[in-house]
Structure 1
């Protein structure tokens, strides 16, 4: 199975169109004003998908099976409180929180209308007909009730292309997630029809995902070594998104970070972003003296140097692993300190990339510490043309045999 940016771009437009129709139909049915949040094509392993579900909250969902233009399963999932909010608009006299026959029927109808909105949007973009089965009501706290029995759902270590859209009710915390699990052969047929270039073998992309995983582990190891704060990788995934959607993913808080441009095969951008509390914690761990960071949001030269040095060494470990496996050289720029609010922290990168491309593969990672304030968001955004050339030259068998390397120097000024 081969894929290219044109095919994935079509899938992305398909997902956005479907989400828009689903949101509009939900508003018409319930008078609850909605808006489409982030839409992504995720290349996710089964363990990562289950991580999304297993947050301890009760969920309900409506699942349908698809055939015709695309085969697979479409699932609308919402947490129990969000479902009750919507059902209260339909059944104002319903007083119980339990899902009795009436509320299950109403929830199924809402989920079916939303599923049909997604599916009609996909059919419009693909110019085809997609048949839909009778909807199935599901509830539970883990992933198993929702897709544990589906052949189209990936096993723990399998990399699958999963469509995700998030719809939010305006002015409330009510939100809905949507998942499409396409059947492999059906997806391969669609990719072949939509592809306009030689593209990338799917197993090469899976191999590059393993490289990103190694890079993420190297980032965590480096952070632990330099700060003494035990860190691990909590979330790591490969997304295909519109460039304009990347800032929507960034928390709307004041962020501290380091940005790099890297050059070679591939080229692109690498960002490490921390919230201000995490940045202060890192500085205190690396430079155990008064650095002038006692005032919230203030970072003196020593503190900025510590953050830049940490980012510099993490970047080397991340990119050196790629270069070793690809048997190439990847150089990165000197670190640029970033301190801004939310999307403004990533806007310069998006503007630069937007001059050449509309979409991007984004490797995003969250590094966290156990019991300490240390959250680090890592974004690696390669140039799409370079990435295609690099992946086509990739020897997948070398990935697990080639070590990542990082050199730990003494922090300047300590």
Structure 2
């Protein structure tokens, strides 16, 4: 199923309002202007998903997981790679990121606040695409690849082969940050989302030539 080609434009359109809200909130937190790019969207296989987490050093990253409880079903994971998390926490606390080498409890709390904003962005984007509310459970700890593999072995996710990756970059002056949001929908939810996306492609005249 070749859907990567038209994902980017559809998600960019759906993300405009949600991203503008996020930029406003982050600018207020940091006390200065923030630039944020629309998320890059990719479809990963199960193996690619696990490899991506490893490449971004999941064990040293800031990672939280959520169950998707409304609109779709499955799992969502937000990951800030270690350096991005450190840079972000230092910036939020008015420190020079180059002088900070690890994420302490205060830093984790600061990154959590930004994570909450981004989670709201992603759920808003998905809700706009689906045309119905999307809700997530309270966060749960994800400390290692083992924790992710355990989640993937749940009965509802055991046969999942399509994971959506949203990569978001944002900047404050010369300091950059990036985050990864992984959407792991169960098979019915993935089909539901793809169907909605195909409908939007047809409505906008972008589906010539098949998918």
Give the TM-score taking structure 2 as reference length: 0.69
State how far apart, in whole Å, the 1-side matches of 2:86 and 2:3 are.
41
1:66 matched residue in structure 2: 68
Q: Is the 2:86–2:103 contact (alpha carbons within 8 Å) kept by the matching residues of 1? A: no
Residue of structure 2 in register with 1:129 after alignment: 133
Q: Choose the corresponding residue for 1:86, options 67, 85, 88.
A: 88
Q: Deviations over 1:294-319 (max 9, x none)?
A: xxxxxxxxxxxxxxxxxxxxxxxxxx
CA distance in 1, matches of 2:140, 2:13: 24
- Mapped contact 1:4–1:196 kept (Cα < 8 A): no
Alignment correspondent of 1:39: 40
The 3-state SS of whatever aligns with 2:48 is helix
Cα gap change, 1:182 to 1:56, in 2 (>3 Å): closer
Query: After superposition, where does 1:145-164 map in structure 2 within 5 Å?
Result: 145=147, 147-151=148-152, 159-164=161-166
* Counterpart residue number, 1:188: 191
Q: Larger relative contact order (C-alpha < 8 A, sep ≥ 6)?
A: 2
Deviation (angstroms), 1:154: 7.1
Task: Classify the secondary structure of the residue corresponding to 2:52.
Answer: helix
Equivalent residue number for residue 409 of structure 1: none
Secondary structure, counterpart of 1:54 in structure 2: helix
Q: 2-side partners of 1:91 and 1:19: how far apart?
A: 23
Q: How far apart in 1 are the matches of 2:151 and 2:101? A: 29
Q: Whose strand proportion is higher, 1 or 2?
A: 1
Q: 1:154 to 1:83 in 2, by over 3 A?
A: farther
Q: What is aligned with 1:77?
A: 79
Distance 1:165-1:108 versus aligned 2 partners, 3 A rule: same
| Deviation by residue 1:104-151 (Cα, 9 ceiling, x = unmatched) | 3222222112111111222234331122221235445xx444x32223
DSSP-derived class of the 1:149 partner? helix
Change (3 A) 1:99 1:85: closer
CA distance in 1, matches of 2:110, 2:137: 18
Match of 1:103 among 104, 107, 116: 107
Query: What is the distance in 2 between the residues matched to 1:194 and 1:85?
Result: 35
Structure 2 unaligned regions, length at least 5: none
Aligned counterparts of 1:29 and 1:49: Cα–Cα separation in 2: 31
Separation of aligned partners in 2, 1:192 and 1:88 = 42
Distance 1:123 1:93, change over 3 A: same
Structure 1 residue 89: Cα displacement: 2.7
Contact 2:89 2:111 in 1 (8 A): yes
Structure with larger Rg: 1
Q: Which runs of 5+ in 1 are unaligned?
A: 200-356, 360-383, 389-414
Q: Tell me which residue corresponds to 1:26.
A: 26
SS for the counterpart of 1:177 is: strand
Structure number with higher helix proportion: 2
- Which aligned pairs between 1:204-215 and structure 2 lie closer than 5 A? none
Per the TM alignment, residue 66 of structure 1 is displaced from its structure 2 partner at its CA by 1.9
Matched residues, number: 197
> Which residue of structure 2 aligns with residue 117 of structure 1?
121
Matched with 1:248 is none
